[in-house]
Amino acid sequence: MTWHPLPGDRDPAGPDPRPVKESLELFAKRLGAPRAGALGAVFSGWDDAVGEAVAAHCQPRSLRDGVLVVEVDHPGWATQLRYLSASLVERMNEVAGPGVVTRVDVRVRRS
């Protein structure tokens, strides 16, 4: 049995090899994820973007279709982050690029 791409997955430029980064970007886009570089910027730049005090209690968990899911360790932090969500979206877009984060979904970590 031979592997064949799904219809619509064919590269109009032909079957020539392409850089892995390009393939990963295409794959991420199909999953609803942002560019790999933007995703990395959100997760690796989290502490700098929100500050050490917030980062000690809140961590990003996923980013899909512009929705950043943030997990907090206490309901009080959830309230605080929800209140600051517009500022957080703005800050994340400064870090990762315009339109990467459109909304923040805050969840309290289960013990």
Q: What is the CATH number of domain 20-108?
A: 3.30.300
Q: Which two tokens stand for residue 49?
A: 């973007």
Q: List Cβ neighbours of 57 (8 Å cut-off, separation of 6 or more).
A: 72, 73, 74, 77
For 47-68, the pLDDT digits (tens) are 988 899 999 999 999 888 889 9
The stretch 71-76 carries a mean pLDDT of 95
End-to-end CA distance of the chain: 48
**Choice between 107 and 24, residue whose per-residue pLDDT is larger:** 107
Q: What is the pLDDT of residue 35?
A: 66
Judge if pTM exceeds 0.85.
Answer: no
| pLDDT band for position 7 (cuts 50, 70, 90) | low
Q: What is the pLDDT of residue 5?
A: 66
Burial class (CB in 10 A: 0-12, 13-18, 19+), 48: exposed
- In the chain, the DSSP E strands lie at 58-64, 67-72, 103-108
Q: What is the pLDDT of residue 10?
A: 56
Q: What is the pLDDT of residue 65?
A: 85
| pLDDT band for position 19 (cuts 50, 70, 90) | confident
Q: What is the pLDDT of residue 12?
A: 56
Q: What ranges do the domains of the chain cover? A: 20-108
